[in-house]
């Protein structure tokens, strides 16, 4: 850009001089004027290229900024990543939160103290640590407290809200058993230094926390009854509290994922079911898949995805799927295909396996197209394309028509395709071998050509957490796992 401006100024000055009577240029020959034209043409071309590239760069930055809000999209990788830092033993990623450049997570110390810690995501340096639950004398040395549930608070930049309980698990008569909580608190912290802004007690039934504007939604499950509360985050003002009987004959229920699928609809998974509650406290609907397993007489693996792109929950078993929104329940054939990323570029698209890949319209249940694969494992929906991982291929389809665009051979069962919006990241074969160790490969989204590849350690797999790319290593001898942050 700087060079282009300098040439442009010189040309403007030359044109001005040429128009002044008596100047040297005014009496110059036509050959000299042609030379100026020959200079102007390439300069204009350079300027056009520079301006065009600036527009492209600006559009790409805007697109990446929009993608940053899409769940499970990585922060942009400009080159093959290296191991930036490794998670300490005892750090628990479940229930963690990313606030700016700080990862807030639970850490179990060697003396069994439960702490919250903040780490710089670039270096892994611990910025602060806060003891939140002290060891109890009436529990065994194996006892484990439940990890905290933390979330960034959009209405309070730089703040993180965490739900901390002294409940957990302990060994009783040789078996792991739940230990009920006697204290559950909400803490609001400054993510940069761990300073406590708010600390208050909440009902001990609360297990998960979700910020919603100035409020916080608390979820718990007690003796087959689902509890959902809305309170002001910074004080104990309770706006509403609803309960739903969700007990089944299959024994104790587990509380699953919970999230806002849109600004006014909160979805909570429990057992083989999902319940939707409006943010003003109205129970909208519960969809339960238990009858499917009762009809077949076989245990059914239930899959639940809470999709902000659809504004709905997608729940399914072995042969049926239901799209559950605030206004409707739309039944579909087949079992739901896990979707890692959905940027909303193919509105209303739902994917199932029947066992062939089948695309549906989430709004009315009408089929859209059928894919050419029968062993789909996962998908990423990005920029109008559907990238589907199979047992041996990554296959990319046009999201509107289902036409196959390209495919890329990959090792068997090596995880879902990840993306930062510019590339797809997968594990690739090294030396044409289908077994580990693998390479981390970046593919161009448009045509599947390789942008770069870099080796990974043996027994490593890829995960995304809060826009961070993680390499998970597992030692089969010790049965221990370790995580490294790649940047």
292/302 Cα distance (integer angstroms): 10
Residue 118 has, within 13 A of its CA and on its CB side, a CA count of 23
Q: pLDDT for 323-378, tens place per residue?
A: 999 999 999 999 999 999 999 999 999 999 999 999 999 999 999 999 989 999 99
Q: Determine contact, residues 383/423, Cβ cutoff 8 Å.
A: no
**Residue 376: how many other CB atoms lie within 10 Å:** 22
Looking at the chain, the whole-number percentage of residues with pLDDT higher than 90 is: 66
Residues forming a β-bridge with 359: 351, 369
Indicate whether 210 pLDDT > 60.
Answer: yes
Name the pLDDT band for 33 (thresholds 50, 70, 90): low
366/356 Cα distance (integer angstroms): 16
- Establish if 44 belongs to a structural domain: yes
The structural domain count of the chain equals 1
Indicate whether 438 pLDDT > 80.
Answer: yes
- Establish if 227 belongs to a structural domain: no
Residue with tokens 């979805």: 267
Dihedral sign, Cα of residue 361, residue 367, residue 370, residue 373: positive
To the nearest whole number, what is the mean pLDDT of the chain? 86
Crossing angle for the helix pair 30-67 and 2-18, to the nearest 10 degrees:
150
Name the pLDDT band for 13 (thresholds 50, 70, 90): very low
Task: Phi first, then psi: give them for residue 61, nearest 5 degrees.
Answer: -65, -40
62/24 Cα distance (integer angstroms): 49
- Establish if 31 belongs to a structural domain: yes
- Establish if 307 belongs to a structural domain: no
Indicate whether 475 pLDDT > 90.
Answer: no
Cα(first)–Cα(last) distance of the chain, in Å?
A: 30
Q: Determine contact, residues 275/285, Cβ cutoff 8 Å.
A: yes
Residue with tokens 């051979």: 409
Indicate whether 49 pLDDT > 90.
Answer: no
pLDDT at 14: 37
**Residue 47: how many other CB atoms lie within 10 Å:** 15
For 59, the 3-state DSSP assignment is helix
Dihedral, CA atoms, 33, 38, 41, 46, nearest 10 degrees? Answer: -120
456/417 Cα distance (integer angstroms): 16
Strands 339-342, 378-382: parallel, antiparallel or unpaired by DSSP? Answer: parallel
pLDDT at 26: 45
Q: pLDDT for 280-310, tens place per residue?
A: 999 999 999 865 544 445 556 789 999 999 9
Q: What angle do CA 254, 351, 446 make, to 5 degrees?
A: 125
Which residue has better confidence, 237 or 24?
Answer: 237
148/113 Cα distance (integer angstroms): 13
Q: pLDDT for 397-430, tens place per residue?
A: 999 999 999 999 988 767 889 999 999 999 998 8
- Establish if 20 belongs to a structural domain: yes
Name the pLDDT band for 480 (thresholds 50, 70, 90): confident
Q: Which tokens go with 23?
A: 């100047």
pLDDT at 240: 98
Average pLDDT over residues 149-156: 96
pLDDT at 470: 93
Cα of 269 vs its chain's centroid, Å: 18
- Establish if 49 belongs to a structural domain: yes
Out of 104-113, 233-242, 468-477, which region has the weakest mean confidence (pLDDT)?
468-477
- Establish if 52 belongs to a structural domain: yes
Q: Determine contact, residues 455/439, Cβ cutoff 8 Å.
A: yes
Dihedral, CA atoms, 337, 343, 345, 351, nearest 10 degrees? Answer: 10
Name the pLDDT band for 22 (thresholds 50, 70, 90): very low
- Buried b / exposed e along 92-105 (16+ C-beta atoms within 10 A): bbebbbbbeebbbb
29/327 Cα distance (integer angstroms): 79
CB under 8 Å to 436, separation ≥6 — which residues? 458, 459, 460
Q: Determine contact, residues 32/23, Cβ cutoff 8 Å.
A: no
Task: Phi first, then psi: give them for residue 7, nearest 5 degrees.
Answer: -65, -40
pTM of the model: 0.84
Q: Which tokens go with 11?
A: 């040309």
Range of the domain at 22: 2-67
pLDDT at 275: 97
pLDDT at 40: 56
- Establish if 42 belongs to a structural domain: yes
Q: Determine contact, residues 445/436, Cβ cutoff 8 Å.
A: no
Edge to edge, the sheet with strand 393-398 lists 339-342, 378-382, 385-389, 393-398, 404-409
Edge to edge, the sheet with strand 255-262 lists 255-262, 265-270, 273-278, 283-288
Name the pLDDT band for 60 (thresholds 50, 70, 90): low
């Amino acid at each position: 850009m700087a060079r282009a401006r300098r040439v442009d100024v010189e040309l403007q000055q030359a044109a001005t001089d040429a128009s002044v009577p008596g100047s040297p240029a005014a009496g110059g020959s036509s050959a000299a004027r042609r030379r100026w034209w020959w200079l102007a043409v390439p300069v204009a071309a350079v300027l056009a290229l520079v301006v065009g590239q600036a527009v492209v760069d600006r559009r790409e930055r805007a697109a990446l900024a929009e993608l940053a809000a899409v769940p499970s999209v990585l922060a942009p990788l400009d080159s093959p990543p290296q191991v930036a830092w490794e998670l300490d033993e005892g750090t628990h990623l479940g229930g963690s939160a990313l606030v700016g450049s700080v990862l807030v997570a639970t850490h179990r110390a060697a003396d069994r103290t439960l702490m919250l810690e903040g780490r710089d995501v670039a270096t892994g340096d611990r910025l602060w640590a806060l003891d939140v639950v002290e060891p109890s004398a009436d529990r065994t040395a194996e006892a484990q407290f439940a990890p905290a549930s933390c979330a960034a608070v959009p209405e309070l930049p730089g703040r993180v809200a965490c739900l901390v309980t002294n409940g957990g698990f302990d060994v009783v008569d040789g078996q792991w058993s739940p230990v009920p909580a006697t204290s559950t608190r909400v803490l609001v912290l400054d993510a940069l230094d761990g300073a406590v802004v708010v600390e208050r007690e909440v009902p001990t039934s609360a297990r998960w926390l979700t910020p919603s504007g100035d409020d916080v939604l608390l979820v718990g499950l007690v003796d087959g009854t689902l509890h959902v509360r809305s309170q002001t985050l910074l004080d104990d003002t309770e706006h509403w509290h609803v309960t739903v009987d969700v007990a089944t004959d299959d024994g104790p229920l587990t509380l699953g994922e919970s999230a806002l699928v849109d600004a006014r609809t909160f979805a909570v998974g429990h057992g083989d079911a999902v319940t939707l509650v409006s943010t003003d406290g109205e129970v909208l609907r519960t969809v339960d898949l238990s009858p499917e397993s009762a009809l077949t007489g076989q245990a059914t693996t239930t899959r639940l995805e809470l999709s902000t792109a659809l504004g709905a929950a997608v729940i399914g078993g072995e042969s049926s799927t239901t799209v559950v929104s605030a206004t409707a329940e739309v039944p579909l054939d087949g079992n739901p295909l896990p979707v890692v990323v959905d940027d909303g570029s193919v509105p209303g698209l739902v994917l199932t396996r029947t066992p062939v890949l089948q695309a549906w319209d989430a709004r009315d249940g009408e089929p859209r197209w059928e894919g050419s694969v029968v062993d789909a494992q996962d998908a990423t929906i990005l920029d109008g394309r559907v990238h589907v991982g199979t047992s041996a291929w990554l296959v990319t389809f046009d999201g509107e028509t289902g036409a196959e665009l390209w495919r890329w051979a990959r090792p068997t069962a090596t995880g879902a395709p990840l993306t930062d919006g510019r590339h797809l990241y997968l594990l690739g074969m090294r030396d044409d071998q289908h077994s580990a160790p693998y390479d981390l490969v970046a593919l161009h989204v448009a045509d599947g050509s390789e942008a770069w590849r870099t080796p990974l350690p043996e027994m490593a797999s890829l995960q995304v957490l809060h826009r961070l790319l993680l390499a998970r290593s597992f030692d089969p001898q010790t049965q221990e796992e370790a995580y490294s942050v790649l940047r």
